[in-house]
A = this chain, B = another copy of it.
Amino acid sequence: MNTVSPLAPKNFPEMPALPGLRLATAACGIKYQGRHDLLLAELAHATAVAGVLTRSQTPSAPVDWCKRALLGGTASALIVNSGNANAFVGKAGIEAVERIVEAAADLFPCRPSTVFVASTGVIGEPLEDAKITAALPALKEALRDDGWKDAARAITTTDTFPKGASRVAAIGGAEVVINGIAKGSGMIAPDMATLLAFVFTDAAIPAGVLQDLLAAAAAKSFNCITVDGDTSTSDTVLLFATGRGARHEAVDSADDRLLDDFRDKLGQVMLDLAHQVVRDGEGASKFVAISIEGAADDGAARRIGLAIANSPLVKTAIAGEDANWGRVVMAVGKSGEKTDRDRLAITIGGVPVAADGAAVAGYDEAPVARHMQGAEVCITVGLGVGEGRATVWTCDLGHGYIDINADYRT
């Protein structure tokens, strides 16, 4: 891995074993040398599965496959490779997927439609799927109850640290585990472009309920982060529930009060992973939280937040430790969402810098400047037109991003 991001967490978290799930990794040499690049997760019979996948109009073959496989609602195995995205290679892409899932289905055995796949890496080069299918038998032999850090590391591409998160949730009197891993250096990476996250629980939750829980959690986590607004062809978030943990009462709706704590802890795991992706944003030196209040509705608040978070002018100002709130005004304006210019209020690091559509006369610049010099920057924007609110997270845009993404070939 490259030099670790200055915003990385100190340690990979402790992650307990999760009944009904075993993991293994291997080096199959798709692109990287001297590191594991293949992950196999074996899931107990009748594991429920839910997913949210990229809305890109040019999705990868594994994304197409997962969308169809999700209709079945059950999962037997997950296979993830790094180094090649299996995207934009025409018919060869789906054929590679089919050979992989059929090999896995023969091996376990299980139905091919219960095998989930994800690929991350170069776009436009055929995936050497034979390297993956050849590695599967030994991978199956190597399956074990732990190995979360190895799993998180195997799925990385340009990430500078492996990403994991874990919580214990109560469902009635029973305690269940929620473990997640993710990869992504933002939505973005050189020649690669993928956010992948896989979350597992030993709770017993039907696929339909699981899907509702995942969609709600994704809306407030992965869908509220951005590094540069470039959406991957391969973004994939899957949530698996093995049902092999402590017994609990049956749940049949995502709104079930029994799921209150689970919903909360799932949200925490997803947000923790999403924040780690931002903290590994390419070239990032600042972790930035942008909170919007008083928008027409929550959706408008999120879109305004993302307009600010994706603005190159805002992001370069943050890289420069410049409390340039005029650029925030510009980004609010360009979002196209309803706003009242003459009620707009902005705080930076908690200090009001603009209110009622103009600069706060004589605000103390010293604490604002100190805040901008830190590694964590908080900006709030009050719109004064409604009750909508959202928080989005991003990183700054500096020379590091250019260094990583402008690959001078001369």
Residues of A with Cβ closer than 8 Å to B? 54-59, 87-92, 122-125, 188, 191, 193, 228-233, 310-313, 316-317, 319-322, 324-327, 329-339, 341-342, 344, 354, 356-359, 369, 372-373, 397-399, 401-402, 405-410
Contact = CB atoms under 8 A, between A and B. Distances in A.
Contacts of A193: 313, 326-327, 330
Nearest to A324: B191
Given A321-B410, A359-B89, A405-B313, A338 B122 contact: no
A interface, over-half SS: loop
A200 to B, nearest CB: 28
B399 A312 contact: no
A310 B231 CA distance: 12
Given A228-B312, A330-B193, A406 B401 contact: no
B312 A410 contact: no
Given A90-B358, A330-B58, A406 B322 contact: yes
Given A56-B333, A332-B57, A320 B354 contact: no
24 contacts: A54-B333, A56-B334, A57-B332, A57-B333, A88-B326, A88-B341, A88-B354, A91-B342, A124-B359, A125-B359, A193-B313, A228-B313, A229-B310, A229-B312, A230-B313, A233-B333, A317-B406, A320-B405, A320-B408, A321-B408, A322-B406, A398-B406, A401-B402, A402-B402
Contact of A336 (B55, B310, B356, B402): B55
Contacts of A316: 401-402, 405-406
B320 A191 contact: no
A122 B406 contact: no
Contact of A373 (B57, B229, B410): B410
Contacts of A372: 409
Given A339-B57, A405-B312, A88 B320 contact: no
A229 to B, nearest CB: 7
A311 B373 contact: no
B123 A57 contact: no
A297 to B, nearest CB: 16
Of A123, A232, A372, most buried by chain B (CB within 10 Å of CB) is: A123
B230 A58 contact: no
Of A230, A339, A344, A369, most buried by chain B (CB within 10 Å of CB) is: A230
Contacts of A55: 336
Of A312, A335, A359, most buried by chain B (CB within 10 Å of CB) is: A312
A337 B57 CA distance: 7
B92 A358 contact: yes
Given A92-B358, A354-B124, A333 B397 contact: no
Contact of A330 (B122, B233, B313): B233
A57 B230 contact: no
Given A57-B336, A58-B333, A321-B410, 5 more contacts: A88-B329, A90-B358, A123-B327, A124-B325, A316-B406
A189 to B, nearest CB: 9
B228 A124 contact: no
Given A88-B357, A330-B58, A399-B399, A319 B229 contact: no
A321 to B, nearest CB: 6
A407 B312 contact: no
Contacts of A320: 405-409
Contacts of A329: 58, 87-88, 123-124, 233
A306 to B, nearest CB: 12
A330 B57 contact: no
A124 B326 contact: yes
Contacts of A357: 88, 90
